[in-house]
Amino acid sequence: NVRALSVTCPHAGCSVAFDTGEKLFRCPCHDSSFQPDGELATLKSPSPRGLDPLEVEIKNGSEIWVKYVKYRGATSQRIVES
The C-alpha angle with vertex 10 and arms to 19 and 39, in degrees rounded to 5, equals 55
Q: Is residue 27 pLDDT above 90, yes or no?
A: yes
The chain-wide mean pLDDT, for the chain, equals 96
pLDDT bracket for residue 26 (50, 70, 90): very high
Residue 1: the pLDDT is 84
Residue 82 has pLDDT above 90, yes or no: no
Contact 3, 42 (CB under 8 A): no
Q: Percent of the chain having pLDDT more than 70?
A: 99
Q: What CA–CA distance (Å, rounded) separates 15 from 30?
A: 11
